[in-house]
Structure 1
Amino acid sequence: MIIKETQPFNALTFTTQARLPELSKYGLVGQKLCSEADRLGIQPGGALQWNYFGIDGRPETVFTLVIALPVQEKAAEVQGFESKQIPALKCLSLVHEGPWENLPQSYGKAMGYLSANGLTMTGECREIYATIDLEETANNITEIQIGIN
């Protein structure tokens, strides 16, 4: 685990209000963002990420979900999505290797680290999907970023 500050970046985004049990219904949004970038002739500038605002780990909590595809340039004529700049984030960063079903264990380790070190969260978390392998989920590599003050 490390503390770092990310750089701002341009992205094609999809924003919605969601609860944890509903997240699977947004699984194809990333592919649609990639298709939109292709239609616009814009090159992706990084791995797909899901940004969570106001999430607390409880299934009943409604939070804001922003699915973002980093792109190399801001798009003008986006259809069905937004083109915007994602701001920098000071965060605790850790890498989760393996199935996404095991992400709660990695978050638990991060919460222990935050508590032990007197760090407070901002209410924003990001998951950057560096490697996605839907057939062999043990190969998934996800960077977790938890916003801190």
Structure 2
Amino acid sequence: MTLVIQAVTIAGEILEGARWPSGLMWVQEGQSLTLSAPVKDRDLLEYVRRQASRDCLVDRDGKSHTVSMACRVEKVRHMVSTDSGATETLVTVCPINRFVEGVLTYALKPSMCDPRFAAAVRREPGPEVKKPRGRPAS
């Protein structure tokens, strides 16, 4: 049996490149799960450290760094190959909050990330946010 983890956004969109084989044998919906990803981007590592969130931590092993992110199991789907009879379990996980979602998307592909989050990581001024116009006073 093969277990594959697929990460999605909080809105439910599949994150491109966020699919990993796993050695886990058993998971259930609603369970907390920690994803770890190697990160070389110094700006992201410093940003995560500054936030001091228990849902997203930086681990260091020698010269390499890993970011551990808290996620929740949204769906577990078991599939059987009709050709080989092998079973595969697809586990869909969702970041526990928007901060973890931003870190995960930035770690995978910064261009895919929310521009405001990317600007905060790089300590740049963020893109201008257009505010909706209110109704004129009557």
If the TM-score is normalised by the length of the shorter chain, which range does it land in?
under 0.3
Taking structure 2 as the reference length, the TM-score comes to 0.23
Structure ranking higher on relative contact order (CA contacts 8 Å, 6+ apart): 1
Taking structure 1 as the reference length, the TM-score comes to 0.22
